[in-house]
């Protein structure tokens, strides 16, 4: 968690961008990310140089080579050394501004090979928007105190910035709350044998949280070279159609030690996405409440759910993308659980009859405030293509640790620890009744109810019998009270009138 001096420094950087006329929150984060990347490149090479000097050797594949770099925009030869953060930060405001804008920024846009440049793959259309040397100097000075080699601390910094971006509410992005992402990752318990994908990755929150979970639980195993190579280069995949979010997501992953994430610009629901039987785990909060032109949708998805609704098509995509035995946890709007269209029913039937549907966790409507009050749920299933659903676990989550209004302040009520604990002990749920907050429902009953997956269809509401007094008793009480009032009035009149 970011606190104290670092938090104040990030807040100051944010405010400085606003002072400089950059007020759109996602643009602020994007511009900040460019400068983070410039510093990361130099810090990483400096660290390698220190180690190499200790052994009297040259570092391999340096980003900043000896000699000069030819600027493709100006056709000038620029010394590599002048492109390094620790060099240009010590020049005067005007020189530093010109160096960053005219040389360093074009340089990082040309880095297109090597794991250190995963972020730069998405820099083609990037634009440097800081226009004031004084503003840039202040931002660079504040960023300079951040240790880019401490990935855990920088990961927290970046997540704090993402939180500020979400809190501003004007970027058009629906950021999944971090504690909900953490809950879903805890439900799925990723391991080093997994290959994980989020086909609607945004800022890569699910992938980052999965990486953190693996590091926390399998840290010793990451000392093995093959495991580390898998973690850094082959374990995490993500797609998005927004180049800005791809840049932000790539930086987020790099700051969490995923140096070469397999993320790409791709419309996941189109024919451009050819992933089939590829991943062992999908975690996502895909866009919903939208419709697509059927001609733009991959035909393989329409065979599962003949629909134009993105919330249905993404679940169909997860089924297609997963390997046999692969698992998925995805947020869906409540309509997916009970919608009456042919596409809705076909998708639910597919999950129940052809795959193994394990859980439906209904979340409170305020989880996505202040952006939306839409009710959502989490679907958890395993791909089998041969059925296997015996009982489905339902949980009625009423609190997530925050108020369910637009302020979303912390509160004591929080069902999330209970959700995770009970999901990992479904054997203990067999004794629960339909009056409890969670319970199991046999698959036969779900089929009998037309594959309806809304918890209210199965939850037993305990109603207390209310016994009202007879009208005659109430009337007598009213008459008595009326007499007492009249007597008091007479006493008052006799005494004061």
- Estimate to the nearest angstrom the gap between the alpha carbon of 158 and the chain centroid: 13
Position 172 scores a pLDDT of: 42
Share of the chain above pLDDT 90, in %: 65
Position 112 scores a pLDDT of: 62
Mean of pLDDT values over 118-128: 83
For the stretch 307-337, pLDDT in tens is: 999 999 999 999 999 999 999 999 999 999 9
Share of the chain above pLDDT 70, in %: 95
For the chain, what is the radius of gyration of the CA atoms?
A: 29
**Which helix (DSSP H) or strand (DSSP E) does residue 411 occupy?**
strand 410-414
Position 152 scores a pLDDT of: 67
- Residue whose C-alpha is closest to residue 362's, from 340, 389, 334, 390: 334
* Contact status, residue 417 vs residue 466, Cβ threshold 8 Å: no
Distance CA 362, CA 364 (A): 7
Lowest mean pLDDT among 24-38, 67-81, 363-377: 363-377
- Residue whose C-alpha is closest to residue 163's, from 48, 51, 291, 29: 29
Q: Is a pLDDT exceeding 80 seen at residue 83? A: yes
**Which helix (DSSP H) or strand (DSSP E) does residue 449 occupy?**
none
Confidence at 151, pLDDT banded by 50, 70, 90: low
Confidence at 149, pLDDT banded by 50, 70, 90: confident
HEC letters along 181-203: HHHHHHHHCCCCCCCEEECCCCC
Position 257 scores a pLDDT of: 80
Relative to beta strand 391-396, strand 68-70 is unpaired
**303-336 residues labelled b (16+ CB within 10 A) or e (exposed):** ebbbbbbbbbbbbbbbbbbbeeebbbbbbbbbbb
Position 169 scores a pLDDT of: 47
> Using CA of residue 326, residue 329, residue 333, residue 334, what is the dihedral sign?
positive
Distance CA 408, CA 410 (A): 7
HEC letters along 40-77: HHHHHHHHHHHHHHHHCCCCCCCCCCCCEEECCCCCCE
Look up residue 289 and give its DSSP letter.
S
Distance CA 477, CA 483 (A): 10
Position 124 scores a pLDDT of: 79
Tokens of 333: 């709007």
- Estimate to the nearest angstrom the gap between the alpha carbon of 144 and the chain centroid: 28
Q: From residue 123, how far is each of 34, 63, 105, 392 by CA, in Å?
A: 9, 16, 10, 45
* Contact status, residue 143 vs residue 35, Cβ threshold 8 Å: yes
Distance CA 76, CA 97 (A): 17
Position 170 scores a pLDDT of: 42
Mean of pLDDT values over 147-167: 74
Q: Which residues contact 210 (CB under 8 A, 6 or more apart)?
A: 185, 190, 194, 196, 236, 281, 283
Mean of pLDDT values over 114-125: 71
**Which helix (DSSP H) or strand (DSSP E) does residue 148 occupy?**
none
Average pLDDT value for the chain: 90
**Cα first-last separation, the chain:** 73
Position 378 scores a pLDDT of: 98
Could you tell me which residue, 433 or 370, shows the higher pLDDT?
433
Confidence at 377, pLDDT banded by 50, 70, 90: very high
Distance CA 436, CA 418 (A): 13
Distance CA 233, CA 328 (A): 22
- Residue whose C-alpha is closest to residue 387's, from 447, 453, 321, 337: 447
Position 495 scores a pLDDT of: 79
Q: Does 175 sit behind a cis peptide bond, omega within 30 degrees of 0 on the bond before it?
A: no
Residue labelled with tokens 């930086």: 251
Distance CA 301, CA 274 (A): 11
Q: What is the pTM of this model?
A: 0.82
Position 171 scores a pLDDT of: 40
- Residue whose C-alpha is closest to residue 243's, from 275, 201, 210, 298: 201
Triad 66, 68, 69: Cα angle to 5°: 115
**411-440 residues labelled b (16+ CB within 10 A) or e (exposed):** eeebbbeebbebbeeeeebeeeeeeebbbb
Lowest mean pLDDT among 102-116, 218-232, 387-401, 475-489: 102-116
Confidence at 487, pLDDT banded by 50, 70, 90: confident
Lowest mean pLDDT among 34-38, 68-72, 254-258, 278-282: 254-258
Could you tell me which residue, 367 or 118, shows the higher pLDDT?
367
Q: Is a pLDDT exceeding 70 seen at residue 141? A: yes
Position 166 scores a pLDDT of: 63
Tokens of 7: 């938090």
Q: Which of 57-61, 165-169, 462-466 is most confident?
A: 57-61
Position 289 scores a pLDDT of: 62
């Amino acid at each position: 968690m970011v606190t104290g001096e670092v938090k104040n420094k990030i807040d100051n950087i944010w405010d400085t961008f606003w002072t400089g006329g950059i007020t759109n929150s996602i643009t602020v984060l994007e511009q900040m990310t460019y400068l983070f990347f410039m510093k990361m490149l130099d810090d990483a090479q400096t660290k390698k140089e220190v180690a190499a000097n200790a052994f009297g050797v040259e570092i391999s594949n340096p980003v900043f080579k000896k000699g000069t770099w030819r600027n493709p925009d100006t056709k000038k030869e620029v010394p590599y050394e002048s492109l390094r953060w620790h060099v240009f930060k010590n020049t005067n405001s005007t020189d530093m501004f010109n160096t960053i804008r005219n040389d360093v920024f074009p340089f990082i846009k040309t880095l297109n090979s090597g794991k250190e440049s995963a972020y730069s793959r998405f820099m083609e259309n990037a634009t440097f928007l800081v226009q004031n040397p004084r503003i840039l100097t202040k931002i660079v000075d504040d960023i300079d105190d951040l240790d880019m080699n401490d990935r855990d601390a920088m990961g927290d910094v970046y997540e704090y910035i993402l939180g500020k971006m979400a809190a501003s509410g004007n970027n058009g992005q629906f950021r999944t709350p971090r504690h909900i992402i953490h809950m879903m990752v805890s439900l799925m318990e990723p391991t080093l044998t997994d290959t994980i994908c989020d086909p609607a990755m945004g800022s890569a929150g699910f992938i980052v949280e999965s990486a953190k979970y693996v590091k926390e639980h399998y840290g010793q195993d990451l000392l093995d070279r093959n495991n580390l190579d898998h973690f850094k280069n082959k374990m995490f995949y993500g797609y998005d159609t927004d180049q800005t979010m791809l840049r932000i997501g790539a930086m987020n992953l790099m700051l969490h030690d995923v140096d070469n994430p397999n993320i790409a610009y791709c419309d996941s629901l189109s024919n451009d996405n050819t992933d089939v039987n590829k991943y062992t785990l999908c975690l996502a909060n895909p866009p919903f409440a939208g419709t697509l032109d059927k001609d733009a949708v991959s035909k393989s998805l329409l065979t599962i759910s003949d629909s134009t609704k993105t919330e249905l098509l993404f679940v169909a995509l997860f089924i297609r993308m997963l390997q046999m035995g692969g698992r998925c946890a995805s947020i869906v709007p409540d309509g997916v659980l009970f919608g009456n269209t042919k596409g809705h029913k076909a998708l639910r039937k597919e999950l129940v009859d052809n795959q193994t549907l394990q859980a439906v966790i209904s979340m409170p409507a305020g989880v996505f405030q202040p952006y939306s009050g839409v009710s959502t749920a989490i679907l958890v299933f395993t791909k089998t293509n041969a059925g296997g659903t015996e009982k489905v676990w339902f949980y009625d989550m009423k609190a997530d640790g925050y108020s369910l209004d637009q302020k979303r302040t912390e509160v004591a009520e929080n069902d999330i620890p209970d959700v995770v604990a009970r999901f990992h002990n479904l054997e203990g749920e067999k004794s629960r009744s339909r009056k409890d907050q969670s319970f199991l429902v046999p698959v036969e009953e779900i089929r009998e109810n037309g594959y309806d997956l809304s918890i209210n269809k199965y939850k037993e509401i305990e109603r207390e019998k209310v016994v009202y007094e007879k009208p005659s008793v109430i009337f007598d009480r009213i008459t008595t009270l009326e007499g007492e009032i009249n007597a008091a009035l007479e006493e008052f009149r006799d005494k004061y009138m």
